[in-house]
Amino acid sequence: MEKSVANIYQLHESIFAVVGPEGATNFGIVKGEDGSALLIDADIRRMDEIEAALKETGCTTVRYLFNTHENFDHSSANDYFARNGAIVIGSEGCWQALKEDGEAKFAEMAGRAPELKNRFPDLKMGMPHISFSQATTLHLPGFGIRLVYSAYRGKSHSRGDAIAILDKQEILFAGDLLYTEVHPVTIYGNIANWIQSIDILLRENFAHVVPGHGPVVKGNALYKAAFLQFRNYLEDFHRRLMEIRSGGKSAAEIESHMKSGDYTHLGKTWMVKRNIEYFLNHAQ
């Protein structure tokens, strides 16, 4: 896989991944033959990076913005791009989650970055203009992009989990159903369901897979290995959480386990304690 400039990876002549530093959110860009683009996820806190990537890849306008799910780091730039003419699209689960408690979560997250108000004085949460229940297809000149709702029984990593597939190019934008080389965020979802979503994706074949966080995976064998590795992580973590709940292990013991052995190399280690604490206070 070739790295073009900075953190922009070219997956195909007109398909790119913007890979976040140190496990920060990844974004996708599909550029149509007319220069219009599908942007996959956008975090308002990283607008300079996103706009630079759009310019670098030769995109003249963002026609569509697709939210793989409702979390702030994937959907907080909805209103910004809508004001500039983009059509925002997400799953029905994403739309419902944003409608029900998106405003409160948006305010909380935006409040942690007060500089946003100076740059975007009218900053607010934006809802998808279009939602889909199971699947839909977007068309850009030269491309068809399949969007598929992938939250098993309504919640895997989150309520809104959806993926973008370019069948002809064998490229998958997996959203947060896949993390590579970093500890995941599990506090919004259902781990058992998440594993089921991964099992469904393992039936497919892709040449490139872009995770929600972490390095892009190239090649069918490596993509499946990455999904299996992550599946094993989730299965192990879920089993250990059950041990805490039954009194067999302490939270500190499980935290130590998830930071050692096969997991020593993973980044964002602070997420482990947060995930455990949230689990102990919320039924899964």
Residue-wise pLDDT tens digits, 214-225: 999 999 899 999
- Average pLDDT across the chain, whole number: 95
State how beta strands 8-12 and 15-18 pair: antiparallel
Q: How many helices (H) and strands (E) does the chain have?
A: 10, 14
**pLDDT higher than 90, residue 261:** yes
Q: Quick one: the chain helix, strand, coil %, rounded to 5?
A: 40, 25, 35
pLDDT for residue 1: 35
What's the average model confidence in pLDDT over 159-177?
98
* Residue 232 confidence (pLDDT): 98
Residue 2's pLDDT is: 39
Q: How far apart are CA 94 and CA 71, in angstroms?
A: 9
Count Cβ atoms within 10 A of the Cβ of residue 58 and give its class: 0-12 exposed, 13-18 middle, 19 or more buried.
exposed
Burial class (CB in 10 A: 0-12, 13-18, 19+), 129: middle
- The HSE-up count of residue 22 (CA atoms within 13 Å, CB side) is 3
Residues in the chain: 284
Domain at 2-281: CATH architecture: 4-Layer Sandwich (3.60)
CA terminus-to-terminus distance, the chain: 38
CB 121 within 8 A of CB 79: no
Q: Is the pLDDT of residue 4 over 80?
A: no
